[in-house]
Chain A
Amino acid sequence: MPQLGETVTEGTVARWLKRPGENVDKYEPFVEVSTDKVNADVPSPVAGTIRELIVAEGETVPTGAPIAVIDEVGAPAAAPSPAIPTDKGGPTPLQQAAPRAETAVLPVPATTQRSNGAAVNGMRVSPAVRRLAREHAVDVATVHGTGANGRVTAADVIAAATATTTRTAPISPPAAVIPRGANEVERPSRNEPPPPVQGLIPLSPARRLIARRMVESKHAAPHAWTMVEVDVTDLWAWRMAEKDAFEREHGLKLTLLPFFMFAVTKSLRAFPLMNASFHENGIEVHASVNLGIATATDESLVVPVVRNAEERSIRGIALAAGALIDKARRGKLGVDDLSGGTFTVNNNGAAGSILSAPILVPGQAGIATMEAVVKRPVVRNDAIAIRSMMNVCLSLDHRVVDGAIASGFLADLKKRLEAMGPAGAL
Chain B
Amino acid sequence: MSEAKTVPEASMVPERAQDNRDPVPGFDASSEGGPHALGVGGAEPGAERLSNVEAVRLALHEAMVADERVLVMGEDVGARGNVFLITKGFLEEFGAKRVVDMPLAEASIVGVAVGMAMQGLRPVAEIQFADFIYPAFNQIVGEAAKTRYRSNGDYSCPLVIRTPYGGGVHGALSHSISIEALFYHVPGLKIVAPSTPRDIKGLLTAAIEDPDPVLFLEHKKTYRSVKGEVPAGHFTIPIGKADVKKTGTQATVVSYGYNLHQALDAAAQLEGEGISVEVIDLRSIRPMDKTAILTSVRKTRKLLIIHEDNKFGGIGAEISAMVAEEALFDLDAPIRRLCGPDVPAMGYAQPLEDAFMISTERMRAAMAELVAF
Binding site for B on A (CB under 8 A): 126-131, 147-148, 151, 153-155
Contacts and interface: CB of A to CB of B under 8 A. Distances in A.
Interface string B318-337: 00000000001111110000
B368 to A, nearest CB: 11
Contacts of B301: 128, 154
Contacts of A151: 373
Contact of A131 (B329, B333, B372, B373): B329
Contacts of A148: 369, 372-373
26 contacts: A126-B331, A126-B332, A127-B328, A127-B329, A127-B330, A127-B332, A128-B301, A128-B329, A128-B330, A128-B331, A128-B332, A129-B332, A130-B329, A131-B329, A131-B330, A147-B372, A147-B373, A148-B369, A148-B372, A148-B373, A151-B373, A153-B332, A153-B373, A154-B301, A154-B332, A155-B332
Contacts of A129: 332
Interface of B: 301, 328-333, 369, 372-373
A125 B301 CA distance: 13
A127 B331 contact: yes
Contacts of A128: 301, 329-332
Contacts of B372: 147-148
A130 B328 CA distance: 11
A267 B354 CA distance: 79
B1 to A, nearest CB: 51
A89 to B, nearest CB: 11
Contacts of A153: 332, 373
A140 to B, nearest CB: 12
A34 to B, nearest CB: 29
The CB with the most chain A CB atoms within 10 A, among B301, B329, B331, B332, is that of: B332
Nearest to A157: B332
Contacts of A154: 301, 332
A147 B329 CA distance: 18
Contacts of B332: 126-129, 153-155
The CB with the most chain B CB atoms within 10 A, among A127, A130, A151, is that of: A127
B323 to A, nearest CB: 11
A64 B369 CA distance: 26
The CB with the most chain B CB atoms within 10 A, among A128, A131, A148, is that of: A128
Nearest to A128: B332
A153 B328 CA distance: 15
A242 to B, nearest CB: 60
A393 B332 CA distance: 57
Which 10 pairs between the two chains have the least Cβ-Cβ distance?
A154-B332, A128-B332, A131-B329, A126-B332, A127-B329, A127-B328, A154-B301, A128-B301, A148-B373, A148-B372
Nearest to A147: B373
Nearest to A125: B332
B294 to A, nearest CB: 13
A121 B336 CA distance: 18
Contacts of B331: 126-128
A147 B301 CA distance: 13
Contacts of B333: 126
Contacts of A130: 329
Nearest to A134: B329
A151 B301 CA distance: 15
B137 to A, nearest CB: 39
Given A127-B331, A127-B332, 13 more contacts: A126-B331, A126-B332, A127-B329, A128-B331, A129-B332, A131-B329, A147-B373, A148-B369, A148-B372, A148-B373, A153-B373, A154-B301, A155-B332
Contacts of A127: 328-332
A60 B78 CA distance: 70
The CB with the most chain B CB atoms within 10 A, among A130, A147, A153, is that of: A153
A129 B332 CA distance: 6
B134 to A, nearest CB: 41
A20 B254 CA distance: 50
A151 to B, nearest CB: 7
Contacts of B330: 127-128, 131
Nearest to A130: B329
B311 to A, nearest CB: 23
Nearest to B297: A128
Contacts of B328: 127
A221 B29 CA distance: 72
B315 to A, nearest CB: 23
A128 B251 CA distance: 14
A234 to B, nearest CB: 64
Contacts of B329: 127-128, 130-131
A151 B331 CA distance: 14
Contacts of A126: 331-333
A370 to B, nearest CB: 51
Contacts of A147: 372-373
A127 B324 CA distance: 10
Nearest to B300: A154
Nearest to B298: A128
A154 B297 CA distance: 13
Nearest to B249: A155
A90 to B, nearest CB: 11
B104 to A, nearest CB: 52
A22 B246 CA distance: 57
A131 B328 CA distance: 10
Nearest to B372: A148
Contacts of B373: 147-148, 151, 153
